Structure formats: C-alpha cells, structure tokens
Amino acid sequence: MNNDRKAQYAFGMVGLGTMGRNLLLNMADNGFAVTGYDKSEKMLQFFEEEGKDHNLKGFADINDFVASLQSPRTIILLVPAGAIVDSVILELQPLLDKGDIIIDSGNSHFTDTSRRAVELKEKGIHFFGMGISGGEEGARFGPSMMPGGDKQAYAVVKEMLEAVSAKVNGEPCVTYIGPGASGHFVKMTHNGIEYAIMQLLAETYEILKNGLGYNNEQIQQVFEKWNNGRLKSFLMEITKDVFLFKDVKTGNLLVDEIKDEAKSKGTGKWTSQVAMDIEMPIPTIDAAVSTRNLSKLKKLRVQLNDAFGSSTKINANEDFIADLEEAFYFAMAGAYAQGMHLLWQASIQYEYELNLAEIAKIWRGGCIIRAEFLEDIYQAYKKQANLEHLFADANVQQKIKQSLKGTRNVISAAIQAGIAIPCYAAALTYFDTLKTGRMPSNLTQAQRDFFGAHTFERIDSEGVFHADWNQKKI
C-alpha cells in the first residue's frame, strides 16, 4: 500500500465497500484527487484494481491516510450506521486539526448526527451528515445527495458534490439542505417514502397475480406500460425488469424462487417513529413498515391461511387495469405527500429551514424514489414555498380528483376478494380523513373527559371545559 506521507489528496474516504469505492471512482472520474482507508486488505485491493485507470491508492494505516490529505482535511465516512461511526470518529479525532471536515454519508439516525455535530464543534472540527441515494450505480455514476449541517464545511465540498451528483436538465441533484441533522432527516424521510412505494408495487403485484390471475409475462407488460407513462420511475423500471430475470438454478423467474419475507435496515421504522414523536400522520408509510414486519411471520401466516382460506379472484371488467393505474397514481401521490408534510413539520420543529422545492428538485434524478411525479411536487413548492400540504396545490388536486373513481373501484374490489392492500387502503383512508371538515373526534374528546377528566374545548366559546358525566342522563 502507499506509504507516501506527502499531503496530496483533496478528499479521503473511510470505508471502501462497494458504495465507498464507487463514490471515490466517481470523484476521480471528475478530476478530484482522492484516496481511501480501510482495515480490510481485500477492500483495498478491490479499490486499487478498480481505480487503476486513475492510479488510485488506498491506506491500511489511518495515520498515513490522514497525513496524505490536503488541509483542510476532508474525510467522508461510508460505514454502517451506529456505533461504528462513533468508533471511526474517535479514531480520527486525535489526528485532525481545527478546521478539518468529517462528512458522515451513511444512513445514520438524525439524532446521532446532531450529537456528533455538537461534540466535534467543541473541538473545532466541522461535521455534517449527508444522505446519499441511488445505490451502487448511483454512487458510481451520479447519486442524489442531501448534505446538511455546517454550512462553512459545505462550501468546501460544494464544487465536488455538484460534479459527482446526478444531473436533471443540467442541474445537479445536490443542494445544501439546512442546519443541524437536516440532511440525514431528509434522507430518512426519503427512505420512508421508498418503503411505501415498494409496498404499493408489491400490492399491485398481488392484485394482478392472485386477484386477476395474471401470469408473470402479463404482469411484466403492465409494469412496462406504466413505466412508459406518468408512472415512470426508478422503482417501476426495476420492477418491470424483475419479471424478466431468470434464475440460473431452476430456469424459472427468480422472483418466484424468493422467500416472501422482507427485511429492512431500520430507516422506514425511524420515519414512522419520528412522525409519531412530532404528531404527523404518515399512515401509508406506517403500513409499509408494518407489512414488512408481518411478512416475517411466515409460520403463523401459513397456519392462518390453512384455517381461514385464501383470497378469491376479482370479478374485473375491461376497465380494471386502467382503474388500477389510477389507484397506483393516487396512492403513490399520497406517499410523497405524507413524506413532504413530515418534512414541512420537521422544518418547523427542528428549525431546519428546509426548502421543499429544492428537496423535490434533487430527488428527480439519481435517487431510488426518482419519478415523473416529482416534477409536479417541485413545481408545487416552487410556486408556493410555504405550501403546508401537497394536496393543497391546485394542479395536484385536479389529478387526484381524476384518479379517485378508479382508486375506489380497485380498493373495494380487492377488499371484497380478501386481498391484503394495506398501503392502498391507508392512502385512501388518509385522504378521506384529511378532506373531512368535521371529524368524529369530538366523541373521542368526550370519552377522554368522561373517564379521565382530560377536558375538552367547545365550538361555541373559548376556553377549556370539563363535564360531570356521571350526573343524571337525559
């Protein structure tokens, strides 16, 4: 490995797994002098082999790695979230000088990012959290990036980040998100939306396969057609391709050989948890998180399937697929709207000063949830920066209204057939509740006051009231 201690590199990466290597290769392609550090000799060999066109070298010794970086040293971390991030920072800290920069680009919980920023600021080290979306290919050829925190540090890396990011209409898919842990909060919310859309695609697959009896070729054709229209997105694109991928071992489609138990890394759960904490409803995202957990109950599900029986076929007419497209559009819009509403509230709660138009703008390319619909979201918040909810935008309202009939037809048919559609149902119930001018929550308040003297407010006068509910009834 390279033991030259001369400061020659502009940027260093800790963690040379696939994401770290690909991002460094992307940076090198764009003319930046980069190096990496990893304790694994194997990872270092991969890095140097893949970076041979740029003569890239890595370090197994952290002292040599830090010494090789130009001042102010800029170090990007791409290591697993949690305790490993803290241990890496602890290892780096004594080797750094005031003014040096650490960028955490993993999926860290935003509260950890807030803590680390405060701790490092006290030592004169700049720190910010940066969410990266786009997977391995995105890191290599242009991801969407969400940096938030120390603005002075962002200025140092702005040119590099804009160069390596994805581009839409020539505009980079990266922007300064805001202070504190805003970058990781936005990435977390992005992942929550991702959970919801993935589950909606799974429910659509269920409707097509078990509700309509479609074979894999027919299912693939539906997703391909949709991806050529207004539902065009990265997740739709890869879903249509899943139904073309053969398993080498069996010759069958690989999707049919995969066990129906979905795993997760926790970011969807974090989104639901923080939404509960700041009292923002995101039921479509919540349903997606819960359904992944339900999928893990395989033994119980099989047992109850035997006891209660399977779903039945949907008695569909010739318009059903068109209705299903409307339903997917509606529920997808709801997932994005809930995520944006969460960001709107978090911006107030945590003083993040989020620019929702800019966030939608950088999500249009490079990231996992990139979709045609993000242009509508971008235009809505660009037109009205303080827009509280996406459904308050006139353009989105018109499209939602047009999709409602088909949405209700599909959800009703699926429920009648006993087909589980948790995200579709959550999206519609959320919408119907949100557009209800007077909810039945007055009864809830009456009950709370009855059993716990929790008080209530009246519609005809100001103040807080309590009733003696045990007095003689009428």
Active site residues: 187, 194
What's the rounded Cα separation, in Å, for the pair 26 and 143?
10
B/e letters for 119-140, b = 16+ CB within 10 Å, e = fewer, are ebeeeebbbbbbbbbbbeebbb
CB 266 within 8 A of CB 194: no
* Among candidate residues 15, 12, 52, the one with its CA nearest the CA of residue 33: 12
Rg of the chain taking only CA atoms, in angstroms: 25
* Among candidate residues 119, 180, 184, the one with its CA nearest the CA of residue 149: 180
Q: Name every residue whose Cβ is closer than 8 Å to that of residue 384 and which is 6 or more positions away in sequence.
A: 393
Task: Give the pair of three-digit tokens for residue 237.
Answer: 């694109």
What's the rounded Cα separation, in Å, for the pair 293 and 273?
15
What's the rounded Cα separation, in Å, for the pair 143 and 27?
12
